[in-house]
Structure 1
Amino acid sequence: MQKSPSRLRFRRLQNPAFTRRQKPSRQKLMETPASHNQDPMAMARSRLFIVWGVLIAAGMGLAINLYQLQIVQGQKLTQKARNQQMVSLRPFMPRRPVVDRNGNVLAVDRPVYTLFAHPKLFDKSNEAMAEQLAPLLDKNAADLVKIFQSQKTGITLASALPEATGDRITRLRLNGLELIQKYSRFYPPEDLAADVVGYVNLDRRGQAGVEYSQEKLLERSVQTVKLSRAGNGTLMPDHAPEGFLHFDDLQLQLTIDSRLQRAARNALKEQMEKFRAKRGAVIVMDALDGSLLALVSQPTYNPNEYSKADISLFKNWTVADLYEPGSTFKPVNVAIALENGVIKPDDVFNDPGAIQVANYTIRNAEHNGYGRINIAQILQNSSNIGMVQIIQRLRPSVYYNWLERLGLGQTVDTDLPFEVRGRLKSQEEFIASPIEPATTSFGQGFSLTPLQLVQMHGALANGGKLVTPHVVRGLIDSKGQMHYTPTYPTPRQIFSTTTTQKVVEMMETVVNEGTGKFSQIPGYRIAGKTGTAQKASPNGGYIPGARITSFVAILPVESPRYVVFALVDEPKGENAYGSTVAAPIVKSVLETLIPIEQIPPSKAIQEPEEGQ
């Protein structure tokens, strides 16, 4: 059956094969080439614009980031990089040694070691390691084995091994041991000069003595340096500044003489034990310049073991405690009276044994009178009555002004730490009450430090000048050359040389004829004054039965220079006086001082003639 042409045409149009073979229309033939020529170029331009945009955006972002890094944060990042590449290092510098005036070492830094054990690294048994280490560490081997078994690493076996012991352990070449070096302050004379030198704590800071007061002189100055760090973090010493580890060889030299210090300590300890005293002190001063040749106090402590000591011992009580001087102040009062012209050296006073002042009765220590006595005899017998009569010739206001000129009620200028201010009544109270000048005349009713009393007697010994007591001579090098000398206040002229020489000659009679006979040394003219004072109570008044005994000496009388002072607090016994307790101490110290200072005899010692 023949298909209709229209149906066949419809199928062809619906057949894809026929559709692809169909000729395009003229309009399509004219449009198709143009369409194919424009699309690729447009697409290429679009892609190019996109790439350019990305590159420009990336460039802008990079530029902005570089600006942020190099300009905005540049300085901060540079410093951060330097901090990562460099390390600040402050080299450890030992403290300067302390030496006495003869170069004897009183304090020095020495290397010590901390020993750590790491049992997990042992290449020997715990028992074998313990056997080798026990004798070096002064420990029991069995105890060491238990210590090794307690943990695998980081065991502290010793914290301050001497250098020699550390070297012996190193020579054993034992695996599993670690020695860390550090420095420790060492005091070779132990307690001999502890009250002057002091000690340093675990942080290497001075806590007492010149270790505290002269910290700036003892600490070597060293500046922080920056060293380069390698990529693995190790330091590169090649980049260290030249000589940055160099330090000086300066030493802090004191005026103390160890020989005299030892003699004073031994004499003081002997008398303290004999009289069962609470404490005591000895001070030796060169009155020409105030340098202290010896300063001893008992009881004391060993600065190498300061943690075992009573904390109260760290303050030197000769500068940090007050006391009433008693009769040792009488020569100073005589000098004040002579200087003001209210007495003459040959004046005579009547001592009936008691005197009434206001509502008070003042008596001599022995409760007896000495009759008519001159000023020298007042000192010889330590007459309270005579002293009251001398001071009564002075107007109270004038007397008070002189006490202030001497420095009473003030601190003493010294290079020793923890000094305290003396106590003196106010001027109004002193002038208004007649009993105040009276008791002050024989050394009671006010208080000062032992060092201040020595300073005042120094003025009697050197022609009337108040000098500064001190223990620091300066910084010297290993050859003995002085590099630094401290500046002390200019001495103040208080008394005339005529007055002081008369007082010293009066004090000589105390040694030759009075209460100071126990300090006599054949061939030498010695001036002195004893003191046996009641001990003041912190709550007011005086402690019943408690006394402070003392003796001060000046040597030699014909050319006074040295002041030696001994003080013993609360000696026991009926025969405990300045003459019996303190004077023998001073004599023993003088017997050591004379050959050390090469003091010639005051009087020619005649050789016995033949046949005699």
Structure 2
Amino acid sequence: MTLRLGRPAVRLRVTFGVMAFVLSLFAGRLIMLQGVDPDSYKLAASRESAKSYILHASRGSILDRNGVPLAVSEDAVAITADPSQTRKKAKEIAEILRRKLPESSYSKLMAGLTKRNSKFQYLARQVTPKIWKEIKAELSEKKLVGVYTAEDPVRTNPNGTIAANVIGFVGAQGKGMAGLEYGLNNELSGKDGKAIYQVDSRGNRIPLANHTVAEPKPGVSAKLTLDRDLQWFAEKRIEQAVKQYQAEAGVVITMDVQSGEILAMANYPTYDPQDPGKTPAAARTNRALEQVYEPGSVQKVATLAALADAGLISLDTKLSVPGVYPVNGVRIKDHWPHGTLKMTMAGVMAKSSNVGTIMAAQTMPKAQFVDYLHKFGFGEPTGIGFPGESKGLLPPGDEWSELSRSNVAFGQGLSASAVQMAAMVNSIANGGTYAPPKLVKDYIDANGIATPAEAPPSRRVVSEDAARQVTTMMEAVTGEGGTAELARIPGYRVAGKTGTAQQVDPKAPQKGYTKWATSFAGFAPADKPRFATYVVLQNPTNGRSGGTQGGPVFRDVTSYALQKYGVPPTGVGSPKVPLSW
């Protein structure tokens, strides 16, 4: 059989035709890439070979008034993985990480290292540089690739639990979750930046390739008005009182009289901001601002100051005060059930007479009384800027019955926070001028430039003469025959007021008034006030007296402040005023 070959000319023409067709396809594609829409293809290619990184902004610190750090961010890293590189060696990598990071879950590490259709997975957060250095060395030794890091600072509290209820804490994502960490989160956080780098086919950064970087903007630091040392002492002292009198909770606040700056805001119970989850939520609140209650007899300071300012009472005012006084059919009692006492207004304050206070308050129109209470800050936010602050409750005057006015006069029928009560008493110490309480003193940027924090303006509430008269009445409280002799500070004149108030249990309001709050407020030196301190114990079950329970706490905390700031002793005794006639 003879094999016949095709004609060479035909075969050649077919071959050239096929080659021309293939080359035309390449040419068309080249025209599309370079002529028709080159930018979009260039961008797509760039995206395929680019990798972006978040550049975390450094979080600002929280400092005390002297620059002592209360909350700071320390260097740490987040460990990340590119699963396209780690998938084949996932078990070896996971074993190394699990050994160095015992709190990590092996199953979660494996899930991150083997994730399909992903080139970025978080494996661990806030790992110290020391631990990462050990991990990196072991990965390099075994030539395991695909594990990277990104800056991920960790928040620490160098002074432990001091001011924890005020400062709050930061969550795992680096955001404030409570307290000032939450309330000032925008200022403290700053603004993250971003870097985009060209990478090779294995995801490694190409050193000399083009890259773009948007630098992060650091957060500002907040310098508080708190004094770390005084805060520590106040916290220890209120803890001791809560335990001694078996109370549910306690608060101490100390203010600088003229500026309104809060030097101490102590809460107990408290918690560890490094491990907040192990403490009940109630212990993490800042009761000084978030909890309101009926304040009791400390309220008489505001009532008598308003009456004195309006010219309705003076130190010379005399009352015949019965032990029981009917108002709208309700019998209101003093702590002496029988007989009538002839009392001066100083005596009404010194003996904490509910009836005497009501009798005096009835001379003032309700609307005028309500106006004074608003000026003292009741029913209004303080402007301190703390998240979750309660403004308390002050019912409108047109809703008051005569019984309501009588109850409010001695501290029942309205609610207030401890800071509101401290600011009210501070107004008397400040000569009748309300200085809004301040907790943040300055904001400090990354260059160290300080900007004072904004605060509401001060306002006059009562005249200097009215404040002076009430101060004299309050000095009688700590004097002989008053209800708070235990609040005296040797060498200093002390003005004060006790409080013991019934409370409704919020967990069982249907049962009515089943709990108590005891308190003491005062300032020293009374003749030239420098510090005002307010103490409250919630539901003490081992005794119930503002003078014997709150008075000693006031004495100790205020004494500490006077000594630390070098306030000289008064040198003269308190004026002698008659309590009866």
TM-score w.r.t. the length of structure 2 is 0.80
Q: How does 1:95-134 map to 2 (within 5 A)?
A: 95-112=59-76
Matched residue, 1:208: 178
Q: How does 1:351-370 map to 2 (within 5 A)?
A: 351-368=321-338
Contact 1:119–1:152 at 8 Å: present in 2 too? Answer: no
1:310 positional shift: 0.8
1:339 matched to 2:309? The reply is yes
Contact 1:474–1:482 at 8 Å: present in 2 too? Answer: no
Q: Label 1:222 to 1:152 Cα distance change in 2 as closer, same or farther (>3 A).
A: closer
Contact 2:295–2:412 at 8 Å: present in 1 too? Answer: yes
**Could you list the per-position Cα deviations for residues 481-535 of structure 1 after superposition, in whole angstroms to 9, with x for gaps in the alignment?**
5422221111222112221122122211211231121111111111110111111
Q: Label 1:152 to 1:225 Cα distance change in 2 as closer, same or farther (>3 A).
A: closer
User: Aligned equivalents of 1:265 and 1:468: distance in 2?
Assistant: 23
Q: Secondary structure at the match of 1:579?
A: helix
Matched residue, 1:43: none
Runs of 5+ consecutive residues of structure 2 not aligned to the other structure = 1-12, 81-85, 115-121, 574-581
Which of 377, 394, 403 is 2:347 aligned to?
Answer: 377
1:89 positional shift: 3.5
Q: Label 1:369 to 1:243 Cα distance change in 2 as closer, same or farther (>3 A).
A: farther
User: Aligned equivalents of 1:449 and 1:600: distance in 2?
Assistant: 31
Q: Which amino acid aligns with 1:383?
A: S
Contact 2:296–2:411 at 8 Å: present in 1 too? Answer: yes
Q: How does 1:85-100 map to 2 (within 5 A)?
A: 86-100=50-64
Q: How does 1:448-527 map to 2 (within 5 A)?
A: 448-476=416-444, 481-513=448-480, 514-527=482-495
1:253 matched to 2:217? The reply is no
Contact 1:416–1:470 at 8 Å: present in 2 too? Answer: no
Q: Which amino acid aligns with 2:458?
A: P
**Could you list the per-position Cα deviations for residues 33-78 of structure 1 after superposition, in whole angstroms to 9, with x for gaps in the alignment?**
xxxxxxxxxxxxxx9xxx9xx99xx99x999978866787455445
Contact 1:530–1:578 at 8 Å: present in 2 too? Answer: yes
Q: Which amino acid aligns with 1:487?
A: E
Q: Label 1:96 to 1:354 Cα distance change in 2 as closer, same or farther (>3 A).
A: same
Q: Label 1:157 to 1:86 Cα distance change in 2 as closer, same or farther (>3 A).
A: closer
Q: Secondary structure at the match of 2:363?
A: coil
Q: Label 1:234 to 1:394 Cα distance change in 2 as closer, same or farther (>3 A).
A: same
User: Aligned equivalents of 2:549 and 2:48: distance in 1?
Assistant: 70
Contact 2:191–2:219 at 8 Å: present in 1 too? Answer: no
Matched residue, 2:546: 578
1:281 positional shift: 0.6
Contact 1:119–1:153 at 8 Å: present in 2 too? Answer: no
User: Aligned equivalents of 2:293 and 2:539: distance in 1?
Assistant: 12
1:591 matched to 2:559? The reply is yes
1:576 positional shift: 2.5
User: Aligned equivalents of 1:165 and 1:74: distance in 2?
Assistant: 47
Q: Which amino acid aligns with 2:44?
A: K
Q: Which amino acid aligns with 2:350?
A: Q
User: Aligned equivalents of 2:349 and 2:227: distance in 1?
Assistant: 32
1:403 positional shift: 2.3
Matched residue, 2:169: 199
Contact 1:534–1:542 at 8 Å: present in 2 too? Answer: no
Q: Label 1:250 to 1:296 Cα distance change in 2 as closer, same or farther (>3 A).
A: same
**Could you list the per-position Cα deviations for residues 436-487 of structure 1 after superposition, in whole angstroms to 9, with x for gaps in the alignment?**
11111111111111111111112112222323222211233699x5422221
Q: Secondary structure at the match of 1:557?
A: coil
Larger Rg: 1
Coordinate RMSD, CA, aligned: 4.1
Q: Please, which moves more after superposition, 297-306 or 409-418?
A: 409-418
**Could you list the per-position Cα deviations for residues 70-100 of structure 1 after superposition, in whole angstroms to 9, with x for gaps in the alignment?**
7874554454344345444431223112111
**Could you list the per-position Cα deviations for residues 578-597 of structure 1 after superposition, in whole angstroms to 9, with x for gaps in the alignment?**
01111111111012101222
Q: How does 1:42-121 map to 2 (within 5 A)?
A: 73=37, 76-84=40-48, 86-112=50-76
Q: Which amino acid aligns with 1:90?
A: I
Contact 2:478–2:488 at 8 Å: present in 1 too? Answer: yes
Q: Label 1:157 to 1:367 Cα distance change in 2 as closer, same or farther (>3 A).
A: farther
Contact 1:120–1:153 at 8 Å: present in 2 too? Answer: no
User: Aligned equivalents of 1:252 and 1:242: distance in 2?
Assistant: 32
Q: Which amino acid aligns with 2:417?
A: T
Which of 400, 408, 419 is 2:370 aligned to?
Answer: 400
Matched residue, 1:415: 385
Q: Label 1:121 to 1:592 Cα distance change in 2 as closer, same or farther (>3 A).
A: same
User: Aligned equivalents of 2:155 and 2:441: distance in 1?
Assistant: 21
1:365 positional shift: 3.1
Q: Secondary structure at the match of 1:90?
A: strand
Matched residue, 1:294: 264
**Could you list the per-position Cα deviations for residues 407-440 of structure 1 after superposition, in whole angstroms to 9, with x for gaps in the alignment?**
322322112110123112233321xx11111111
1:192 positional shift: 1.7
**Could you list the per-position Cα deviations for residues 546-570 of structure 1 after superposition, in whole angstroms to 9, with x for gaps in the alignment?**
2111001112212223210111111
1:304 matched to 2:296? The reply is no
Contact 1:220–1:247 at 8 Å: present in 2 too? Answer: yes
1:271 matched to 2:241? The reply is yes
1:296 positional shift: 1.0
1:568 matched to 2:532? The reply is no
1:290 positional shift: 2.0
- Number of residue-to-residue matches in the alignment: 533
User: Aligned equivalents of 2:27 and 2:134: distance in 1?
Assistant: 65
User: Aligned equivalents of 2:219 and 2:380: distance in 1?
Assistant: 38
Of Structure 1 and Structure 2, which has the larger fraction of its residues in helix?
Answer: 1
Matched residue, 1:14: none
1:405 positional shift: 3.2
Runs of 5+ consecutive residues of structure 1 not aligned to the other structure = 1-46, 606-612
User: Aligned equivalents of 1:75 and 1:478: distance in 2?
Assistant: 40
User: Aligned equivalents of 1:152 and 1:416: distance in 2?
Assistant: 41
User: Aligned equivalents of 1:265 and 1:166: distance in 2?
Assistant: 38
Q: Please, which moves more after superposition, 106-115 or 448-457?
A: 106-115
Q: Secondary structure at the match of 2:416?
A: coil
1:555 matched to 2:519? The reply is no
User: Aligned equivalents of 2:224 and 2:290: distance in 1?
Assistant: 20
Q: Which amino acid aligns with 1:483?
A: A
Q: Label 1:228 to 1:281 Cα distance change in 2 as closer, same or farther (>3 A).
A: same
1:600 positional shift: 1.2
Contact 1:115–1:159 at 8 Å: present in 2 too? Answer: yes
Q: Label 1:218 to 1:373 Cα distance change in 2 as closer, same or farther (>3 A).
A: same
Contact 2:187–2:220 at 8 Å: present in 1 too? Answer: no
Q: Label 1:254 to 1:541 Cα distance change in 2 as closer, same or farther (>3 A).
A: same
